[in-house]
């Protein structure tokens, strides 16, 4: 199927190339014919009797026309033959380069739909199982009913979180970039305050090392990215750990003392739905692997760079360069 698409597109390119080549050949032949129809200058037969001079002149004219036209036609045939071969090779190359990003986008879309369907199926299955088990019981007291309802609410909340994240991913390209001068200390403090209750629950200290300096940034984007980084840092930090948020020039970093990220996982950490084996096996959080993917997409949209430095068991440092 892929080769068929490449060939069809290549033939379209080749048709355009050969049409231009043939048109160019017709123009050359027409110009040559015009030049051949111009009168010859008087030659060595000008002083001979008129009848003899005319016969010799006609022979010269016919010979010149025949040789020149034949030479031009043969040259144009060779030229178009070469153009056909070169054009076919060039058309195949252009077709492959044209279709490559389209095919990558299609594969990414198919993978995204597959991953999203799988992640949506998990809470739906849990929701259905909980209700089926409850229905099989002949009697349910109020306490058990409340437990069932609470489990249903938890699974619905997971579905809401997942659909919100998926919606954010689809809306990144449509976000408006609005930059403004802002006090970075205040921006970071406002974001840290939102996650302080989560940190307190896990006894994690949020250490803010941000001077009161003014930078012109996309406030909404930086706030969203920073929130994701702080949330992840708290999630993967040990009980009683410390998360440091610091600003060095144009770089905002979030440093944690968590489980770290193995080298082989760092290249994929910003992929959609990706969670490292360490995070899965240790059961950290209930995320879907979309937070960092959204943060990376927002950073790219605003021309920022989001990077990570980490070693397994040594914590992680996520840096936003703006």
Q: What is the model's pLDDT at position 90?
A: 84
pLDDT < 50 stretches in the chain: 44-49, 52-53, 280-281
For 109-173, CATH number out of 1.10.3470, 1.10.287, 1.10.760, 2.40.50 equals 1.10.287
> Which region, left, alpha or beta, applies to residue 313 given φ > 0 means left and ψ of -120 to 50 means alpha?
left
Q: What is the model's pLDDT at position 103?
A: 78
Q: What is the model's pLDDT at position 154?
A: 75
Q: What is the model's pLDDT at position 246?
A: 92
Would you list the domain boundaries of the chain? 2-107, 109-173, 178-321
Q: What is the model's pLDDT at position 35?
A: 64
Find all residues with CB under 8 Å of 82, minimum gap 6, and list them.
none
Q: What is the model's pLDDT at position 253?
A: 92
Torsion sign over Cα 251, 252, 257, 263: negative
Beta strand extents in 86-204 (DSSP E only): 179-183
Q: What is the model's pLDDT at position 133?
A: 77
pTM of the model: 0.59
H helix intervals, 239-316: 263-266, 277-282, 291-301
For 178-321, CATH number out of 3.40.50.920, 3.30.1360.40, 3.90.550.10, 3.30.565.10 equals 3.30.565.10
Q: What is the model's pLDDT at position 247?
A: 92
Cα distances (Å, whole numbers) of residue 195 to 129, 165, 172, 198, 243? 33, 18, 23, 5, 12
Find all residues with CB under 8 Å of 178, minimum gap 6, and list them.
218, 219, 220
Task: Report d(CA 207, CA 192) in Å as an integer.
Answer: 9
Each residue's pLDDT tens digit, 7-52 = 887 888 888 888 888 888 888 777 777 666 665 555 544 444 455 4
Q: What is the model's pLDDT at position 52?
A: 46
50-136 and 2-36 are packed helices; what angle lies between their axes, rounded to 10 degrees?
Answer: 160
Helix (DSSP H) and strand (DSSP E) numbers for the chain: 8, 7
Token pair listed for 261: 């990220």
Cα distances (Å, whole numbers) of residue 180 to 15, 196, 251? 52, 26, 17
Task: Report d(CA 35, CA 71) in Å as an integer.
Answer: 14
Q: What is the model's pLDDT at position 45?
A: 47
Token pair 């996520």 is at which residue?
A: 318
Each residue's pLDDT tens digit, 98-147 = 878 877 777 766 666 666 666 667 667 777 777 777 777 777 777 877 88
From the list 80, 64, 91, 71, the residue with the least C-alpha distance to 19 is 80
């Amino acid at each position: 199927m892929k080769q068929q698409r490449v060939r069809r597109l290549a033939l379209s390119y080749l048709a355009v190339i050969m049409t231009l080549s043939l048109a160019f050949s017709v123009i050359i032949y027409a110009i040559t014919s015009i030049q051949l129809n111009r009168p010859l200058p008087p030659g060595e037969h000008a002083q001979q009797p008129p009848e003899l001079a005319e016969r010799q002149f006609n022979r010269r004219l016919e010979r010149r026309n025949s040789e020149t036209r034949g030479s031009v036609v043969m040259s144009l045939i060779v030229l178009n033959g070469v153009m056909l071969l070169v054009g076919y090779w060039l058309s195949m190359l252009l077709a492959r380069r044209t279709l490559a990003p389209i095919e990558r986008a299609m594969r990414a879309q198919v993978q995204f739909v597959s991953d999203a369907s799988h992640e949506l199926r998990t809470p739906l299955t849990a929701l259905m199982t909980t209700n089926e088990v409850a229905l099989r019981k002949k009697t349910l007291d109020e306490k058990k009913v409340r437990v069932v309802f609470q489990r249903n609410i938890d699974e619905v909340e997971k579905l809401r979180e997942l659909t919100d994240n998926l919606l954010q991913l689809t809306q990144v390209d449509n976000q408006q970039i609005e930059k403004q001068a802002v006090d970075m200390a205040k921006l970071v403090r406002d974001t840290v305050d939102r996650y302080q209750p989560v940190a307190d629950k896990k006894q994690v200290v949020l250490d803010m090392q941000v001077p009161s300096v003014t930078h012109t940034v996309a406030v909404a984007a930086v706030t969203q990215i920073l929130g994701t980084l702080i949330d992840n840092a708290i999630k993967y930090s040990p009980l009683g750990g410390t998360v440091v948020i610091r600003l060095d020039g144009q770089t905002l970093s979030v440093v944690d003392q968590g489980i770290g990220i193995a080298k082989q996982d760092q290249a994929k950490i910003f992929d959609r739905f990706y969670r490292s084996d360490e995070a899965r096996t240790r059961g950290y959080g209930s995320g879907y692997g979309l937070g960092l993917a959204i943060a990376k997409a927002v950073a790219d949209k605003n021309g920022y760079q989001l990077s990570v430095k980490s070693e397994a068991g040594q914590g992680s440092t996520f840096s936003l360069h703006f």
